């Protein structure tokens, strides 16, 4: 039977030739279609309705799985204390789900995002994370931009900076501890980088005792110690010692965290994440009074054991006709609510319980199972990359 002419609107994703309906293989993760012969070297007849995973979808879903698994491990393994972190995302909007998953269990108390690529058209609500406040300073329309997520547990203030540079100073006020200034840096100045940093440090270090300076510093500290020596002269010490950007051809340490001597440092490190080509860097300091605890609670009612006959009887005793005395609809609603909840509170009073924070509600068991089933594809792709 003649299968008919190719559908000119559907091209093979591998050879770019039109695909006939009888030989179409469809990716189950995206709209891509290919010839059966392009993905199968045998001469077998293609089965009807064959499904397939294209390379782009495998890379995306596998990277997401690794990110989700890694973020869960962070919660279990990080030392307790005040946790600072920085990540250069090169565009926050398309990485927002990764950030929400990373922070779903309040993994970090302060997460500084650089290269957010946001502008005034993006409202704070669009990039919000449950349990965190936002301090931000947008770029000039050609990229850049800083955004800092600060846990709601802390009192924090975004400070104005007299220096006309891309800095985002945030004052953090932990309980039983002196205020800390966390300054996010991302800037590409013309000329000598170290001299530029010296000019801003002379301003900052004379006014601030407890200082955390973190961001994308551009300077590769593995090749030059000038910036490190400069920081030491201002009583600031580098906490990151391993490469933060690793490619096939290079290993550089350009994402730094510097802290003053007054900040008791207990742990720091580098964590690779698939959502950025630069690794996340973090540092942890001790807090007086032990580790931070901030639990999420919800209120609910138990209707399982409610005696419906008694509830109905009490509802019949409510003077519902009293609503007629009100003209304004808001007053009517308020009166109804008070009378109705008065009966409900008697039979099913409010209860409170602690729950896990869930800033990514779309991540359910079905999604995780599907991601897990495709993990082997990522392992295979990674092994091929290493062999090349």
Task: Identify the residue with better confidence: 305 or 14.
Answer: 305
Q: What is the predicted pLDDT for the residue at 127?
A: 92
Q: Closest by alpha carbon to 268, among 76, 82, 132?
A: 82
Q: What is the predicted pLDDT for the residue at 146?
A: 87
Q: Where in the chain is the domain with CATH 3.60.10.10?
A: 67-293
Tell me what the mean pLDDT of segment 241-269 comes to.
85
Q: Topology of 67-293 in CATH? A: Deoxyribonuclease I; Chain A (3.60.10)
Q: What is the predicted pLDDT for the residue at 240?
A: 93
Percent of the chain with pLDDT over 90: 14
Q: What is the predicted pLDDT for the residue at 183?
A: 79
Of the pLDDT bands very low, low, confident and very high (cuts 50, 70, 90), residue 48 is: very low
Q: Are strands 51-52 and 24-27 parallel, antiparallel or unpaired?
A: parallel
pLDDT tens by residue, 12-29? 766 777 777 666 666 544
Using a cut of 0.95, tell me whether the model's pTM lies above it.
no
Question: What is the distance between the terminal CA atoms of the chain, rounded to a whole angstrom?
Answer: 44
Helices (H), 28-141: 36-39, 55-77, 96-102
* 110 alpha-carbon distance from chain centroid: 12
Q: Where in the chain is the domain with CATH 3.30.40.10?
A: 1-59
Tell me what the mean pLDDT of segment 282-291 comes to.
71
CA torsion, points 107, 112, 118, 120, in degrees to nearest 10? Answer: 100
Q: Residues 6 or more apart from 218 whose CB is under 8 A from it?
A: 188, 193, 254
CATH placement of domain 1-59: 3.30.40.10
Average the pLDDT over each of 182-186, 230-234, 345-349 and give the range with the smallest value.
182-186
């Amino acid at each position: 039977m003649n299968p008919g002419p190719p559908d000119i609107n559907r091209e093979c994703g591998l050879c770019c030739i039109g695909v006939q309906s009888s030989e179409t293989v469809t990716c189950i993760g995206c709209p891509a279609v290919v010839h059966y012969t392009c993905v199968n070297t045998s001469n077998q007849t293609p089965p009807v309705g064959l499904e397939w995973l294209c390379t782009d979808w495998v890379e995306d879903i596998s990277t997401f799985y690794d990110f989700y698994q890694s973020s869960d491990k962070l919660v279990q393994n990080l030392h307790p204390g005040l946790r600072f972190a920085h990540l250069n995302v090169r565009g926050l909007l398309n990485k927002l789900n990764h950030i929400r998953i990373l922070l779903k269990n309040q993994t970090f108390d302060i997460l500084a995002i650089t290269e957010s690529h946001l502008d005034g058209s993006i409202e704070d609500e669009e990039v919000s994370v449950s349990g965190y406040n936002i301090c931000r300073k947008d770029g000039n329309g050609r990229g850049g931009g800083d955004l800092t997520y600060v846990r709601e547990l802390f009192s924090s203030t975004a400070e104005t900076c007299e220096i006309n540079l891309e800095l985002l100073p945030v004052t953090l006020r932990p309980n039983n501890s002196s205020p800390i200034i966390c300054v996010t840096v991302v800037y590409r100045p013309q000329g000598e980088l170290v001299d530029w940093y010296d000019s801003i440090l002379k301003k900052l270090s004379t006014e601030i005792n407890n200082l955390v300076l973190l961001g994308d510093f551009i300077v590769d500290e593995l090749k030059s110690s000038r910036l490190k020596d400069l920081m030491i002269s201002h009583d600031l010490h580098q906490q990151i010692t391993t490469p933060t950007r690793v490619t096939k051809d290079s290993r550089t340490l350009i994402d730094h965290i510097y802290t003053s001597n007054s900040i008791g440092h207990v742990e720091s490190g580098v964590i690779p994440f698939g959502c950025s080509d630069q690794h996340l860097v973090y540092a942890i300091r001790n807090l007086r009074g032990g580790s931070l605890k901030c639990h999420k609670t919800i209120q609910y009612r138990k209707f399982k054991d409610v005696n419906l006959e008694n509830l109905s009887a009490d509802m019949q005793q409510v003077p519902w006709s009293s609503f007629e005395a009100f003209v304004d609809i808001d007053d009517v609603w308020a009166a109804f609510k008070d009378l109705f909840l008065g009966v409900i509170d008697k039979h099913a009073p409010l209860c409170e319980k602690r729950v896990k924070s869930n800033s990514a509600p779309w991540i359910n068991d079905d999604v995780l199972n599907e991601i897990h089933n495709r993990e082997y594809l990522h392992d295979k792709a990674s092994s091929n990359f290493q062999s090349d």
